[in-house]
Copies of this chain bind each other. A is one copy, B any other.
Amino acid sequence: MNGAETLLHTLVRGGVTTCFGNPGTSEVHFVKGLDTVPEMRCVLALAENVATGAADGFSRISGGTAATLLHCGPGLANGLSNLHNAQKAGSSIVNVVGDQAQFHAPLNPPLASETLNYARTVSAWTRQSKSSLSVGTDAATAIAQARSGGGAIASLILPSDVCWGPGGSIGTVAPFGPRPSVPDEAVSAAASLAGFGSSTAFILGDDALCGDAPRFAAAIAAKTGAIVLAHSFIRRVERGGDRPLIERVPYAVPPAQKLFADIRNVVLVGAQRPVFAFAGPDGVSGPEVPGTLFSSLGAAGDDIEGALREVSARLGCELLKPESSWAWDPIERAHGEISSLAFGQSLAALMPEDCIVVDEGVTFGRSAYGATHCARRHDWLQLTGGAIGSGLPLATGAAIAAPQRRVVSLQADGSGLYTVQALWTQARERLDITTVVFSNRKYEILFNEMKRMGVDPGASADKLFSLENPSLDWVRIAQGFGVEAATACTMDEFNDLFLHSLTRSGPFLIELQIPN
């Protein structure tokens, strides 16, 4: 058994059985090792940012740990921006990066680069294995680290000689302990603040958006009048059907400021303090009014659900029966011209029970979240770190994690072009993904943000924020990557194509032609 095989056995023993990668020469021993470790599934991506984004999506939906397989510093660099998003999501990833043999690297071969420094920027833990004999221990430590704090990125750099040398012992991963409890003082303070009613907002972080946590939060709101919001950049929220309705802190500045106008106390429930994606010359960084008091009910990775249960118990809340308030009310699909609102309505009407929605819809897609509060039960995944090109890879990984569920991938065109190569992996793995590309043929968000900065878009903005001249033909691009596709120019065409996509297996792409 060589080092690469020891690594693979350790990953499998530690429950890490899915790997997304694009191997190179330094990874050939890993690839060969896969022949002898059939429990490990390795999914090929045409570009590394597809692999890392898919690992993120896999972790978000499986709740487990994904592995990557990347090639040297530049291969890692190509995957960094979706690792950035994964880090912000608290996803659990063992990021495996092959590299030059240790005796060879000092000679400065072409691919020599600062692999360790790249890895550290997105990782909670980074190690370069020094010896094939210790790679089992290193990999076991990486898995444990990837499961710490509710989910983290642990990067393991593997020089070639560590892969081809004798492998030593398979590592054993220590069982992961329970999540830390939130201190009682924080629970008491949160219960007191809830008593102020609608001048208090609970902002739910990712750990409060799955399982029973949202129901406890909704019960607190119902009892006290306090406002409950999800944070803006959601890893995964379980919603729809009989689940409580939770609004997000809006991305756009004016509605966020309006929402916070009467709020004086904010309880951060495993959440970060809300902050705008960008500040403008007005110097305003967040939505709150001056003097707002912030307090915390736990940090990401803590037992957030337990803390909300305790707050609701102290307030004597009654858990609302699901059917009394949130039962799914059949929604009519929209007809006629395509618009953001019409799209949201049709989506809410047609999306199937227990589907997974991946939302990188940016401007046109922004209303879809609100429109689907009362749709059938589903999970909703978002861009977490602002690095666009997350959607198609996330959908790919989510579909691999949940092969029995339909993934609905809402994709802005500009962002989708960053990682369009993901379509090929969707075709190769025959994933049940319906992608809807919002073809508005521009970086619409930049026109909006420019105006917010007090700048009138001019000729250069018209050129640099436009995706016209030539127009991108998403149907041909998708077909070129092996994915069936068609264009919808009306809502009726969209409805038909969307329903058609659900009746077939494998990926399908709908290019939604948004009128100018």
Contact = CB atoms under 8 A, between A and B. Distances in A.
A470 interface: yes
Contact of A385 (B26, B47, B110, B475): B110
A111 interface: yes
B77 A108 contact: no
A35 B473 CA distance: 29
A73 B387 CA distance: 9
Interface string A292-328: 0000000000000000000000000000000000000
A397 to B, nearest CB: 17
A130 interface: no
Interface residues of A, number: 100
A104 B280 CA distance: 9
A62 interface: no
Interface string A86-124: 001000000000001101100111110110011001100
A261 interface: no
Contact of A84 (B73, B108, B424): B73
Contact of A480 (B113, B286, B424, B480): B480
Contact of A34 (B73, B109, B417, B460): B460
Interface string A348-392: 000000000000000000000000000000000000111101000
How many identical chains are in the complex?
A: 2
Interface in A464-492: 464-465, 467, 469-482
B418 A283 contact: no
A417 B421 contact: yes
A453 interface: yes
A474 B424 CA distance: 12
A8 to B, nearest CB: 11
A414 B23 CA distance: 12
A110 B233 contact: yes
Interface in A17-37: 21, 23-26, 28-29, 31-32, 34-35
A72 B80 CA distance: 13
A473 B35 CA distance: 29
Given A34-B460, A279-B104, A470 B427 contact: yes
A446 interface: yes
Interface string A395-438: 00000000000000000001001101100100110000000000
Interface stretch (A178-186, A201-209, A236-244, A268-276): A268-276
Nearest to A165: B281
A176 interface: no
A34 B462 CA distance: 11
A49 interface: yes
A189 interface: no
A428 B470 CA distance: 6
A500 to B, nearest CB: 20
A160 interface: yes
Interface in A155-191: 160-161, 164
A29 B453 contact: yes
A196 to B, nearest CB: 25
A285 B161 CA distance: 13
Given A109-B278, A424-B470, 15 more contacts: A25-B278, A32-B458, A35-B458, A42-B463, A46-B414, A46-B417, A77-B387, A78-B78, A104-B285, A107-B273, A108-B275, A111-B277, A114-B121, A117-B121, A118-B121
Give the 3 A-B residue pairs with the shortest CB-CB distance, closest first: A470-B482, A477-B480, A74-B387
